[in-house]
Structure 1
Amino acid sequence: MPSRTTAEVIDLFNRAFVTHAPEILDNLVADDCVMEAVQPAPDGERVEGGEACLAFWRTLADDRATQFSPEDVTVAGDRATIRWRYRYGDGPADSVRGVNLMRIRDGLIVEALGYSKTDGVLS
């Protein structure tokens, strides 16, 4: 079976979160995957290894109290940028916007770096 393209992998990745279907993530993550979550500040949680990244993402995708909405996806070779909004409540302020910088190798996610806008105050 030919390897999936970067666009195909990112489409499946996003679909898992939009539809709350964590099983879609199975077979999308490389054994040597590294991800950095958007929290805690300032650097986010670093997760290493395919099983650990998959477990993190499966929990997030399965959370039906939240809603993930991709706003824009750009693919260039083995890299993709996903701009998104993540809603965690019903109010107009109950969301955050962010971006994931993704890298794909041989049809699998090998790197995912997450960044988000915050309401923090610079001192």
Structure 2
Amino acid sequence: MQTPDSATAVTEFDSARDAYLESMARVPAEGFAYLKPGDDYSLGGLAVHVNFVLEHYTNVLAALLAGGFAECRPEDPAGLEERALARAREALQAEEVQTELARTRELHQGVAQMVDRLSADLTRSAPVWFPGATETYPTSVKDVLGWLTDHYLEHVPHIEALVADWRRGGSSDPVAVVTEFGEAFGRGDVDAVMALMTDDCVFEDTDPPPDGERHVGQVAVRAFWERFFGETESPRFDTEEIYGLGDHVVCRWRFSWGHPGSEGHVRGVDLFRVRDGKVAEKLSYVKG
């Protein structure tokens, strides 16, 4: 029987699954075969990867239950990870991806049912030997559920970035990347904007003068965009000119806000640096 804490955790787990499945549902069927150079799994193979993680942590929960929260060493079936890694790189067809997503729903439900059985021990920790570890790691049911929830959510912007990369033909051309970034910015789509920025991204705002404010990392930059779009009335962004020089891109723009009769605007320039197909730096300057 669920406790209030376990019910909340499972609700968040379910919501994260739904967000992941919705992102996969928006992938064009012909895009599933795309494998970005250097990646470990194709766009469709990401579903295989997610299922492996779900199955692996199902085995962790089973070990906690079987051992009565004593020290334990969860084991996956022989070859599970190796098979998943190999299949995740394949150019899967849409039908194969749908089969994997159906499996996702089954595995997810299995985790939720196991959490329900263990709800009274939600925060009880056990010393767990994870593969390759040199010491045990204290692990609770709540920890596992949180890791799985976060894993779903981290792949939502990842999927969007891979789709954008596939649409560009796999190109990491800096001007193409910044153009895609500008289109997402013009829509006020914070998830798409952040999917096109590196984990260690840097954004320098134009305010306060004379130096502006520097925001570093995904969390800080996302917080700024969410606040900016949330507080700006009818924002509109138009690119006036864009050109590149190596991994740097210069973009002249006009930013407008408000409704006719009460609108305002500023014109300015952004200096971008692109790394591995994503924006690593965005330094903004305005006139006046």
Q: For structure 2, which runs of at least 5 residues remain unmatched after alignment?
A: 1-35, 38-170
Q: Equivalents in 1 of 2:179, 2:243: separation in Å?
A: 11
Among candidates 233, 237, 245, match of residue 68 of structure 1 = 237
**CA-CA distance at 1:91 after TM superposition:** 4.8
Name the count of aligned residue pairs. Answer: 118
Counterpart AA for 1:75: G
5 Å matches for 1:1-123? 1-2=36-37, 4-60=172-228, 63=232, 65-89=234-258, 90-91=260-261, 94-118=264-288
Which one has a larger percent strand, Structure 1 or Structure 2? 1
Mark the CA change 1:61 to 1:74 in structure 2 (over 3 Å): closer, same or farther.
farther
Q: For structure 1, which runs of at least 5 residues remain unmatched after alignment?
A: 119-123
The answer as to whether partners of 2:248 and 2:271 remain within 8 angstroms in 1 is yes
Deviations 1:85-111 (Å, cap 9, x if unpaired)? 011233597211000000011111111
Mark the CA change 1:58 to 1:4 in structure 2 (over 3 Å): closer, same or farther.
farther
- SS for the counterpart of 2:243 is strand
- SS for the counterpart of 1:41 is coil
Q: Equivalents in 2 of 1:46, 1:52: separation in Å?
A: 9
TM-score, length-scaled by structure 2: 0.38
Percent same amino acid among aligned pairs? 38
- State the structure with more CA Rg: 2
What RMSD, in angstroms, separates the aligned Cα atoms of the two structures? Answer: 2.2
Larger RCO, structure (CA 8 Å, separation 6 or more): 1
Mark the CA change 1:80 to 1:61 in structure 2 (over 3 Å): closer, same or farther.
farther
TM-score, length-scaled by structure 1: 0.82
